[in-house]
Amino acid sequence: MMAALVKLGRVDYRRALELQLKLREARVEDRVPDTLLLLEHPPVYTIGRAGGLADFKIPLEELKAETGAEVYTVDRGGRVTFHGPGQLIGYMILKPRKLGLSVRKLVQLTLEALADACRELGVEAEALMEEPGVWTRGRKLAAIGLSIHSGVTMHGFALNVSVDLSYFSYINPCGLSSSQITSLSEELGYKVDLWRLADLVANKLGGRLGVRFKEASLSSLLGY
């Protein structure tokens, strides 16, 4: 089965959310295939359905002043997390049932694909469902949070590649302490190239989901 892969570079969070909503509407109507967006964000904190202000260690105004980061409340699973440069974001606009998957199974296979990619780089990573994410030596490398409406998912995963981990010190990320967060570059001792890794992740995810990703542009999918 074919699916679209769109690499967007660095994209503002609000813009990425707008794109996801447009793609989800188009996917519901079968005007576009299953689509994976790969990108990174400028610094931003997002609050999922299970999160709240208690997950921040300082008031939001202080947070914004100290970090320059935006804060958004979003309709996805999970609590509070950080996104920023050096973190590979994968937004998944998919119909799980067309792939023969439940949402839970989609989450599991996505985490396994991310763990596959990490292991290929030499990091001993494992996908865990009880504390959803990809972990190495008790520290979290990747998080996931999806929403589903009209049978189509959006939001997705965040893999810490070379992200500045100090941003996590302002929050209890996904209910954890910031010391429990790590990155591939931290584990390997050198800076991992995010976009080379992006190709590996897409390959591993396609293998796990049974799809073949073909690179596409937003203009080819949405007409602009």
Residue of 44, 174, 197, 202 with catalytic role: 174
Could you please state the CATH topology (level 3) that the domain comprising 2-214 is classified under: BirA Bifunctional Protein; domain 2 (3.30.930)
Whether the CB-CB separation of 221 and 24 falls below 8 Å is answered with no
Q: Give the predicted TM-score (pTM) of the model.
A: 0.94
The pair phi, psi for residue 54, each rounded to 5°, is: -65, -15
Least confident of 27-41, 64-78, 186-200: 64-78
What are the strands, taking DSSP E only, across the chain? 2-10, 35-40, 44-47, 70-73, 80-83, 87-93, 126-128, 133-136, 139-149, 152-160, 212-215
Residue 7, pLDDT score? 98
pLDDT band at 34 (very low <50, low <70, confident <90, very high): very high
Residue 79, pLDDT score? 84
Domain ranges of the chain: 2-214
pLDDT band at 161 (very low <50, low <70, confident <90, very high): very high
Amino acid making up residue 30: D
- Give the CA diameter of the chain: 48
**The token pair that represents 97 in the structure block:** 């049932």
Confirm whether 174 is a catalytic residue: yes
**The token pair that represents 14 in the structure block:** 């609000």
Burial 117-134 (b: 16+ CB within 10 A, else e): bbeeeebebebeeeebbb
**The token pair that represents 185 in the structure block:** 């570059």
